[in-house]
Structures are given as structure tokens and as C-alpha cells.
Amino acid sequence: MASAGPVPALAERATACADRLREADDVLLASHIDADGLTSAAVAASALERAGIPFETVFSKQLDAEEVAAIAATDYDTVLFTDFGSGQLDIIADHEVAGDFTPVIADHHQPADADTEFHLNPLLFDIDGSSELSGAGASYVLARALEPPDGDSRDLAALAVVGAVGDMQTTGGELVGANQNIVAEGVEAGVLDTGTDLALYGKQTRPLPKLLEYASDVYIPGISNNQNGAIRFLDGLDIDLQADGGDWRRWVDLTADERQTVASALVQRAVSKGVSANRIDGLIGTTYTLTAEPEGTELRDVSEFSTLLNATARYERADVGLAVCLGDRGEALDRARKLLTNHRRNLSEGLRWVKSEGVTKEDHLQWFHAEDRIRETIVGIIAGMAVGADGVERGTPILAFAHKPNDDSDVSEVKVSSRGTPSLTRRGLDLSVVMREASQAVGGDGGGHNVAAGATIPKGAESEFVERADELVGEQLG
């Protein structure tokens, strides 16, 4: 693997992990369910298959003591955890000591206070797991180590990049650090292409008004979160942005000159509305394209691919997302697209509810409680989308609560999701610490990344949780 800085040490650990997997009679591959988790599993599954190692794949929404015990009961001699496992290392280590299984972990989250021999995590090698290497990236490093002598796994870089972008690891509009090395290998393998373009989500599939209306990452007053404003802006441009029949064209349908016209007008509008120079710079960024996928589809752009994956596992169909990652362009892709349509509808309805109900503001954060109105698997996404809407401040971390039903539909736990911004993390915000410490203070647990994290807490502990989280954010931001 191409390397820079401490990456060779990471590759050395990957070799040890790969050797252990080759020695296994059979392997249970256990992975998380978000876009990074699904791509992590797909990369690892491809590598195991190419190496001729028998395996079975399972997914989990939350790896806790009960889930690890269930995994131990499967009687696999080796368990490969991808995109989780580090934060649960203390639980896993107990089963390793008991002889239940040998763990191999390819993760990027903050490790628990325990140790195991086959632990592949960038944080152990001074690589930032929140911005420089994702779970899928760790799986990719492992995949390169698992290559047969005549093999080449660089094609798996495409999925690793989907996972990194889906895990919000772009910095200043592009992937950095070890992620950048993976991008370079994907370009060399011919599976990735990079370029500089408008840094808005949906350039492959969204009609232009929707592309601009939902461009909340770079908030432009009068256009972002404003359907009529976006249409008026486009109508004011001296180019034909509607196809025959009156349907709006997509960004991918425009010529290079037309794209330049729209981008320049957006920048001018942002300047006229007093948007800061840093945010205006964010309008343009690096794009990552999967060259083997058809233009104008959800699979062509890595951001849209990651959203498609989120629309599968968050609705209990991780198997569909995995199948798409592994190349199924028939039944699995059709099912994923139907799930995506449902996902978008739920996001739209959830965002409308948040805009209607508003948020509660504390000294250092803002929050809303969706109860059972928004699924706990998507409430964090909606929280991120709501930032910048009327009454929701961009410069303040946001918490989102939703009920977490049990199998019998009773509610005893609440899911908490949090979102910040890169500018806040540069000032010291670390939502992983906030979620972990505030949840543990009320009998729950949590973690994640500095810019986005989650927790599960007992129902009824929300007020105490908010109070502690507000204190922690205040301490971090000084």
C-alpha cells in the first residue's frame, strides 16, 4: 500500500491480522450498519473470498455485551469486527480470555481501555480515525495485506472511499491523510476519478432546484432550504436549465460552461448575502467518481452511493446494501432504490417536523426530541440537515433524541445523535467525548467522532443528559 508518515506501521499490524485470518478454520465477519460499516464489510468480504478463507457475515446496529455474547455463541474460532469493536474491546477481550473466539478488529473509533493482539486501528498509530482513515479504510489496509501473491486489491479502494465520504471524513472538501493514499491507489487501478467541482450533494440525480435547496452544508440565504428561492435564482440565469418537456436538468446534464455560469452566480449570491469567505470556499471541492458506474445514477458519485447504502441498513436491510457493494446491479439495486425513495421521504417529513417544532436552546447546544415521530436510525441525519434552517443555529452543536423501541415495542431507551461542524471541532469540540461522558453519567453509553457521535440512554434521563452535555460542550469551547 502507498504510504506516508506512520502508515507503514499500520500496514505491519495489518499483516499480522491477515496471517491470523489465514490460520482460521472459518471466520465470522461482524460489521456495523451505516455506509462505512457496509463498505467495511464488503471490502473485508471481498478480501476473504479472494484469499480462499471461509466466512459468514452478520451485521449489528449496536455492538454491546449482549451482541458480543451472541457472537461468541456461534462457535466461530475467529471473529473479524469491521467498523466497530475498538470501543467494545473490554467486552471482547473477556471473551478472548475465556477462549470463546480470537478477535481481529479493523476499526477507527476510540478504543476502550483493553488490548488484544490483532487490533488494526489508525488511532494506535497516530492517524486520526475521524478524518484520515475510516472503518472501510482500515478494512482496505487489511485487504491489501490479505492479497494472494498474484493478487491486486486496489479495486476495493472505490468502496473504501465511499465509506470515508459516508463517514463525513472530508476536510476542506477533500479526503486527507491515509484516505488520500487510498484515493491515489483507486485512481491508479482505474476505479476512481477525482476532479474539482461544485461541492453539493446530488449532482448526479437531483434536479437543479433541489440540488440548491438542500445545499445546507454551504448555507446561502434565500436559496438553501428555500424551494422558491432556488427556482427564482435559476430562472434568473441566462441559460436554458430545463430540458424538453419542462423538467429541470441535473448538474450532470450541464455543459462545462453552464456549470461555470451557475457556480459563479452562486458565489456572487453568497458574497452579496454576506456569507463568510471560508464558507464560500466550501462551495467548491474535490469530487470522487466511480468510473465503472453509469453517469446519472446514485452509484456514480461516492456521496450518493453512501446515501443509498444508508437507506438499506437503517431500514433493517443490510443484506441489500452489502449485495450492492459486492456488485449486484439487478434485484438488490432495485430494492435499494425503493428503500432510498422511502428514506428520502422519511428525511423530508422529519426535517419538516423539526422546522415546525423548532429546537430548544441551552447555553452551549441546541436540541430536539422526536420521540417516535422520527426513526432512531435516521434522527442524526435529520439533525445535520436541520442545521441552518429557521431557528436552528449553524454555530451551535445540535442533539437529537428519538425513542428506541424494544422487540416488544416498549420504550425503555432513547437514542441520542449529535452533530457539529468542522469549525467547531477546530475550536475544540469533541462530540465523541461529550456523548460518552454525558451518557455514562446517566447510565448509558456512547461515542463516535468529534464532529458526529451518538449514545443510548435510559428513557427519562434526557434532562440530566442535556445538562451534562451542555456543561461538557461549554468546557470544550471555553
3-state class (DSSP) for residue 103: strand
Q: What is the pTM of this model?
A: 0.88
- The size of the chain, in residues, is 478
Please, which pLDDT band fits residue 239 given cuts at 50, 70 and 90? confident
Residue type at position 124: L
pLDDT (0 to 100) of residue 217: 67
Q: Which domains does the chain have, with CATH numbers?
A: 7-156 (3.90.1640.30), 198-346 (no CATH), 358-477 (3.10.310.40)
What rounded mean pLDDT belongs to the chain? 92
Q: Rounded to an integer, what distance in angstroms lies between the CA atom of residue 399 and that of residue 383? A: 7
List the beta bridge partners of residue 192.
290
pLDDT (0 to 100) of residue 407: 59
Answer whether 116's CB lies under 8 Å from 85's CB: no
pLDDT (0 to 100) of residue 214: 83
Q: Are strands 192-198 and 284-290 parallel, antiparallel or unpaired?
A: antiparallel
Please give the span between the terminal C-alpha atoms of the chain, in angstroms, as a whole number. Answer: 41
Question: What are the distances in angstroms from CA 108 to CA 36, 122, 123, 283, 461?
Answer: 10, 6, 7, 28, 29
3-state class (DSSP) for residue 1: coil
Answer whether 289's CB lies under 8 Å from 191's CB: no
Helices first, then strands: H and E counts in the chain = 18, 13
pLDDT digits (tens, 9 = 90+) for 334-363: 999 999 999 989 998 999 999 999 999 999
Please, which pLDDT band fits residue 282 given cuts at 50, 70 and 90? confident
Q: Report residue 421 as a C-alpha cell.
A: 461542524
> Which helix (H) or strand (E) segment is 262 a member of?
helix 256-272
pLDDT (0 to 100) of residue 3: 39
Please, which pLDDT band fits residue 409 given cuts at 50, 70 and 90? low
Q: Report residue 66 as a C-alpha cell.
A: 449482549
Lowest mean pLDDT among 154-158, 273-277, 327-331: 273-277
With 0-12 / 13-18 / 19 or more C-beta atoms within 10 angstroms meaning exposed / middle / buried, residue 2 is middle
The vertex-344 CA angle with 338 and 348, nearest 5°, equals 150
Please, which pLDDT band fits residue 224 given cuts at 50, 70 and 90? confident
Share above pLDDT 70 across residues of the chain, in percent, rounded to a whole number:
97
Lowest mean pLDDT among 6-10, 28-32, 116-120: 6-10
pLDDT digits (tens, 9 = 90+) for 192-215: 999 999 988 899 999 999 999 987
pLDDT (0 to 100) of residue 290: 98
Answer whether 322's CB lies under 8 Å from 333's CB: no
pLDDT digits (tens, 9 = 90+) for 160-184: 999 999 998 988 789 999 999 999 9
Q: Rounded to an integer, what distance in angstroms lies between the CA atom of residue 392 and that of residue 367? A: 9
b/e code 90-105 from CB counts within 10 Å (16+ = b): ebbbebbeeebbbbbb
Lowest mean pLDDT among 143-152, 169-178, 293-302: 169-178
The stretch 80-102 carries a mean pLDDT of 95
List the beta bridge partners of residue 453.
418, 448
Question: What are the distances in angstroms from CA 295 to CA 53, 292, 309, 403?
Answer: 35, 9, 18, 39
Answer whether 40's CB lies under 8 Å from 32's CB: yes
Residue with the larger pLDDT of the pair 136 and 452: 136
Query: Using CA of residue 48, residue 50, residue 55, residue 57, what is the dihedral sign?
Result: positive
Q: Report residue 331 as a C-alpha cell.
A: 434485484
The single-letter DSSP state of residue 129 is T
> Which helix (H) or strand (E) segment is 402 a member of?
strand 398-405
Q: Report residue 29 as a C-alpha cell.
A: 465477519
Residue type at position 416: V
Q: Rounded to an integer, what distance in angstroms lies between the CA atom of residue 217 and that of residue 228? A: 19
The stretch 94-112 carries a mean pLDDT of 95
Answer whether 345's CB lies under 8 Å from 458's CB: no
pLDDT (0 to 100) of residue 172: 77
- CA nearest to 145, candidates 2, 15, 8, 3: 15
Asked if pLDDT for residue 408 goes beyond 70, the answer is no
Answer whether 265's CB lies under 8 Å from 235's CB: no
Please, which pLDDT band fits residue 451 given cuts at 50, 70 and 90? confident
Asked if pLDDT for residue 386 goes beyond 50, the answer is yes
pLDDT digits (tens, 9 = 90+) for 424-438: 988 999 999 999 999
List the beta bridge partners of residue 29.
57, 80
